[in-house]
């Protein structure tokens, strides 16, 4: 007697939406968004094209923006860290979560940061930049700086850009070196760029003294 086929389970609205977003992120990560059709998304998700339209009546643009927003929301949560204990270990823990997201959602991460698309709009740009602004605000907060000046803002944003670039290259390099080594290297870069800026900016110098004084 042949084994019984597994029972079919109808997906809930949220589960189906999540399935479509995951399929879209995987495609957008490896192809330019303009080269991805709704038929491609339907095939990747194993559903019909009308079903994709049912969930995203605005078509590919709506699906693209929803996929980016989903990945961005997860990334923003990576920076949620209690203000307890020394500052640098706090930042290191946030960076661990960030790199874990990159590792576990490499397709979504690549799709989030991919630019130069003809379907890119002010909304998609705002979604991506919102992650960067959230990360910067968290870092300023953990440094104890309520109103960062231009040099400190530029330094923090430059480091965030370096983290993004290193993460994408890390994926291209087969996730080498190990994530822990990458985290330590990026943390050393943070201390280095902050120290350089501190030589020119009193506000950054004060923040650096506080952060380094709290080292365990």
CA–CA distances in Å: residue 155 to residues 81, 94, 126, 146, 201? 21, 18, 21, 16, 11
Q: What is the pLDDT of residue 9?
A: 55
Alpha helices in the chain (DSSP H): 13-30, 38-45, 49-55, 60-77, 87-104, 106-113, 122-143, 150-172, 179-198, 202-213
Question: pLDDT tens per residue, the chain (216 residues)?
Answer: 444 444 435 778 888 998 998 898 888 777 777 788 899 999 999 999 999 999 999 888 888 888 888 888 888 888 888 988 899 999 999 999 999 989 987 776 777 676 545 456 677 788 888 889 999 999 999 999 999 999 999 999 999 999 999 998 999 899 999 999 999 999 999 999 999 999 999 999 999 988 776 554
Q: What is the pLDDT of residue 67?
A: 84
Distance CA 99, CA 108 (A): 13
Structure tokens at 102: 């990159």
Q: What is the pLDDT of residue 8?
A: 38
């Amino acid at each position: 007697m042949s084994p019984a086929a597994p029972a079919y389970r109808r997906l809930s609205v949220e589960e189906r939406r999540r399935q479509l977003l995951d399929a879209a992120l995987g495609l957008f990560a490896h192809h330019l968004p303009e080269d991805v059709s709704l038929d491609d998304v339907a095939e990747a998700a194993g559903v019909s094209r009308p079903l994709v339209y049912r969930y995203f009546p605005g078509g590919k643009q709506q699906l693209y923006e929803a996929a980016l927003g989903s990945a961005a929301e997860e990334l923003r949560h990576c920076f949620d860290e209690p203000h307890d204990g020394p500052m640098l270990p706090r930042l290191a823990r946030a960076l661990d979560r960030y790199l874990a997201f990159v590792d576990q959602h490499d397709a979504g991460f690549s799709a989030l940061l991919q630019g130069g698309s003809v379907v890119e709009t002010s909304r998609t740009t705002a979604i991506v930049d919102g992650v960067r602004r959230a990360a910067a605000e968290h870092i300023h907060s953990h440094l104890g700086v309520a109103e960062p000046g231009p040099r400190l803002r530029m330094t923090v944003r430059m480091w965030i850009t370096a983290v993004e670039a290193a993460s994408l290259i890390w994926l291209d390099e087969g996730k080498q070196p190990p994530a822990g080594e990458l985290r330590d290297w990026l943390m050393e870069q943070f201390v280095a760029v902050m120290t350089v800026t501190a030589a020119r900016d009193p506000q950054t110098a004060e923040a650096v003294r506080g952060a380094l004084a709290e080292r365990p």
